[in-house]
Amino acid sequence: MTIDAPAKVNLTLRVLGRRDDGFHEIETLMVPITLADQLEISLRTDQSIRLTCSDPSVPSDASNLAHRAAAAFAKHSGLEFGVDIHIEKKIPHGAGLGGGSSDAAAVLVALDRLLATKIPTEELERVAATLGSDIPFFIRSQPAMCRGRGEIIEPFEGLTSADILLVKPPFPIPTPWAYQAWANSEKPSATFQQFHGSIPLMNDLEAPVFSKYLLLPVLKSALRTHPGVSAAMMSGSGSTVFAILRDSAEGIEEWIRSEFGETFQTFRAQLLTERGHLL
C-alpha cells in the first residue's frame, strides 16, 4: 500500500500551563497541508519490522515513530505480522510541521486497512496518543482544534483554504527545548495582529523561540512586509515560518533566497480544509 502522510501548520497555538504528567496543556488549531511524505507499506512473512527512508539522517530503528507505530498496532490488535515500511521523505524534520507524527499515523491507518481490522477511528486515535501528542490529529487529518496535550480533537469546520509558503531555515528546533523555554520565559499578554478570515493567528512559542533564534523574527517580519503575503507566523515549535499568500506572490521563493541565502528551503503548499489524505 502507498499512502500519503501530510504535514500540518498551527494557525493558533496557545500554551495554557504545565500538566502534572510533565506535558503542557495546549489549545491549537492544526490544519493539514498538501506537502506530504509518501509511505510504501507491505506485509512480511516473518514478524520483523523493517524501515527504510530516503533521508539517511532519519533513524530507521525503533526510535523512529513509524517503526514504533507498527509495534504498537501489533500489540493493540494482538495480531502477529511483520511489515516493510519505506518513507519517501518530503517534509523537513525539526521544522514544526509534524512529519514524524504524520508518518506514524499513516502506518496505523495503513495496517488497519491491510489487516482488515476495522478499528474505529476514535480507538485508533487512542493508540496514536500512546506514541505522541500530535499523532492522533493525523489519523483523520482534517482541520481540528486540539486540546489537552493535543490528543483531544474537535474537527473544525468552515476554514477557508489558502496557498501558503513554508520557509525552513537551515537549523531544527527541538520541541522539548521550545516548551521549556516557554516555561522559563515571561508570559506577554496575547495580542492578535493577524487573521486568516475570522481566525486570529497566534503562537505562544514564538516569543521564547525568537529570543534565541534571532533569524526567525527577521524572517517573519520580512515575510509580513512582502506584498504577496497576507500573514506570516511560526508553525508549532519551529523552525518553519509559513506565509499565507495573496495572488501576487509570484517570485517570492527567489526573493527569499536572495534575502536569506540558498540554505533556506521553501515549499509551496495549500491548506487542506476537507477530510485529508488518510481516511
Which positions are annotated as active-site residues?
8, 134
Q: How far apart are CA 262 and CA 225, in angstroms?
A: 21
C-alpha cell at 216: 526567525
Cβ-proximal residues to 63 (8 Å cutoff; 6+ apart), any chain: none
3 state SS for the chain: CEEEEEEEEEEEEEEEEECCCCCEEEEEEEEEEEEEEEEEEEEECCCCEEEEECCCCCCCCCCCHHHHHHHHHHHHHCCCCEEEEEEECCCCCCCCCCHHHHHHHHHHHHHHHHCCCCCCHHHHHHHHHCCCCCHHHHHHCCCEEEECCCCEEEECCCCCCCEEEEEECCCCCCHHHHHHHHHCCCCCCCCCCCEECCEECEECCHHHHHHHCCHHHHHHHHHHHCCCEEEEEECCCCCCEEEEECCCCCCHHHHHHHHHCCCCEEEEEEECCCCCCCC
